[in-house]
C-alpha cells in the first residue's frame, strides 16, 4: 500500500507519518528531511536547493522528482511507502504515477490534513526538530521530556531557519498556488480522504488510522 499525506506546512504531516509508518509497517519518506540531510552533508544537491528552501519556495520539479523517485526505487522490505511532502505540484504527481505504474504499483490512498492558517503559524514557529533522527516536537503542544533535547538520542533540538513567520507566509502561498490543487487531482481518482488536523496528535492519528484500515478492507 502506497500512501501520500497532504496538507499545508505545519499541518502535522511529519508527526503523523512517523507514527503511521510504525503502525502500518510503511517506509516514511519525507522530501523535506531528504533535502535537509543533503544540506547537512554539504552535497552539491544540498547547495542547489538551499536558496529555495530558505526563501520558502518550492525546489524546481526537475530536481525533487529525480531525488524522490530514486529513493522510491528502494522500498527496503516495507509493505509500501508513506510519502510526506511529495508530491507538491501537478507535475510531481504525474511523475509519481508514472514511476509507480511502471512497477505495477500506484498511490492507493491520499490523506489530506486540514488545518486553518491561524493555527499554522503557531505550529510552525513553535516547532523544534532533532537534526539526528528528524523527530518533531512543539515547545508547548509536544515538548520533549527534557527541555531542548531529543527524547530518542539526547541531541540538542534546533529551530529550522525556514520556520519563521515571514517564511511561513511564502510557504503558505506556495502551498495554495501549487500544492492544494492536488486535492482535486486525487479526489477525481476517488482516493482522497480529508481528515481534520486540528485535534490533538492522538485524535488525528486515530482518524487517519481509521481511514487507512477502511481502505485496507
Residue 124 CB, shortest distance to ligand ADP, in Å, is: 6
The answer to the question of residue 2 lying near ligand AMP (CB under 6 A) is no
Q: Which of 27, 36, 127, 128 is catalytic?
A: 127
Catalytic residue among 36, 88, 123, 128: 88
The per-residue b/e assignment along 172-182, b for 16 or more CB within 10 angstroms, e otherwise, is bebbeebbbeb
- What is the Cα–Cα distance from 168 to 164, expressed in whole angstroms? 6
Residues 167-206 that bind ligand ADP (CB under 6 A): 200-201, 204
Q: Which of 6, 10, 64, 130 binds ligand ADP (CB under 6 A)?
A: 10
- Binds ligand ADP by CB under 6 A, chosen from 142, 158, 193, 211: 142
Binding ligand ADP by CB under 6 A: which of 137, 162, 168, 208?
A: 137
Considering only 48, 52, 71, 198, the residue that binds ligand AMP (CB under 6 A) is 52
Residue 56's binding partner out of ligand AMP, ligand ADP, none, with CB under 5 to 8 Å set by partner kind: ligand AMP
**Residues 6+ away with beta carbon under 8 Å from 199:** 207
Nearer Cβ to ligand AMP, position 64 or 207? 64
- Does residue 150 interact with ligand AMP by CB under 6 A? no
In sequence order, the 6+-apart residues with CB closer than 8 A to the CB of 2 are 80, 81, 82, 83, 100, 105, 106, 107, 108
Q: Which among 13, 27, 123, 128 is annotated as catalytic? A: 13
Q: Residue 136 binds which entry of ligand AMP, ligand ADP, none, with Cβ cut-offs from 5 to 8 Å by kind? A: ligand ADP
Per CB under 6 A, the segment of 57-65, 100-108, 131-139, 175-183 that binds ligand ADP is 131-139
* C-alpha pair distances (Å), 14 with each of 48, 67, 102, 203: 24, 18, 27, 15
CA atoms within 13 A on the CB side of 22: 6
- Name the DSSP letter for residue 177: I
The phi, psi pair for 71, rounded to 5°, reads -65, -35
> How would DSSP label each residue in 61-121?
HHHHHHHHHHHHT--TTSS-EEEES---SHHHHHHHHHHHHHTT----EEEEEE--HHHHH
Q: How far is the CB of 214 from ligand AMP (least distance, A)?
A: 27
Question: Min. distance of Cβ 98 from ligand ADP in angstroms?
Answer: 25
* Catalytic site includes residue 140: no
The binding site for ligand ADP (CB under 6 A) comprises 7, 9-15, 123, 126-127, 136-138, 141-142, 200-201, 204
Amino acid at each position: 500500500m502506497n500512501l501520500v499525506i497532504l496538507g499545508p506546512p505545519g499541518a502535522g504531516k511529519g508527526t503523523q507519518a512517523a507514527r503511521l509508518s510504525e503502525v502500518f509497517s510503511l517506509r516514511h519518506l519525507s522530501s523535506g528531511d531528504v533535502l535537509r540531510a543533503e544540506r547537512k552533508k554539504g552535497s552539491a544537491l544540498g547547495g542547489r536547493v538551499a536558496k529555495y528552501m530558505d526563501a520558502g519556495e518550492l525546489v524546481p520539479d526537475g530536481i525533487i522528482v529525480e531525488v524522490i523517485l530514486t529513493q522510491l526505487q528502494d522500498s527496503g522490505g516495507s509493505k509500501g511507502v508513506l510519502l510526506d511532502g511529495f508530491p507538491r505540484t501537478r507535475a510531481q504527481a504525474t511523475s509519481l504515477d508514472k514511476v509507480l505504474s511502471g512497477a505495477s504499483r500506484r498511490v492507493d490512498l491520499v490523506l489530506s490534513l486540514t488545518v486553518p492558517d491561524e493555527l499554522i503559524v503557531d505550529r510552525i514557529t513553535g516547532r523544534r526538530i532533532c537534526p539526528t533522527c528528524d523527530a518533531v516536537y512543539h515547545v508547548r503542544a509536544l515538548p520533549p521530556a527534557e527541555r531542548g533535547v531529543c527524547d530518542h538520542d539526547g541531541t540538542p533540538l534546533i529551530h529550522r531557519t525556514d520556520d519563521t513567520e515571514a517564511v511561513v507566509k511564502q510557504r503558505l502561498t506556495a502551498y495554495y498556488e501549487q500544492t492544494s490543487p492536488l486535492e482535486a487531482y486525487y479526489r477525481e481518482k476517488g482516493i482522497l480522504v480529508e481528515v481534520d488536523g486540528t485535534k490533538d496528535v492522538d485524535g488525528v492519528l486515530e482518524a487517519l488510522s481509521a481511514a487507512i484500515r477502511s481502505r485496507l478492507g
